[in-house]
Amino acid sequence: MFSRHLAPGVPCPSSLSPEEADAACAILLRCVERLFDDAATKLNLKSLMGFMSELSFCSHKQLLTILPRRAGPGAMRSTSIKKRGQTG
């Protein structure tokens, strides 16, 4: 069962109408496109790759923290995610 919170202390709306969901997706899509367009035009390739890597890492970590964990063999745990170069 999904948590009714986006993050600790941030409640999730109980439901959105299809029109509200479409509008929210359109706004988020424009923001993401602007962010990536800006990063791609202002950063050199090495910095852009670092940005993408960090964004991917943080997104993955956040999803594992927010979404319910499913126990079982092979289930990923948020504690198993470490940045490159971290030990322990």
Q: Do the domain assignments include residue 60?
A: yes
Dihedral (Cα; 41, 43, 49, 51), 10-degree rounding = -100
What pLDDT does 2 receive? 41
Number of domains present in the structure of the chain: 1
Q: Do the domain assignments include residue 51?
A: yes
Q: Do the domain assignments include residue 12?
A: no
Ramachandran sector of residue 22 (left: φ over 0; alpha: ψ -120 to 50; beta: rest):
alpha
Q: Mean pLDDT throughout 3-10?
A: 53
What pLDDT does 47 receive? 94
Q: Do the domain assignments include residue 85?
A: no
> Which residue has better confidence, 1 or 65?
65
What pLDDT does 15 receive? 79
Q: Do the domain assignments include residue 80?
A: no
Domain hosting 24: range is 17-67
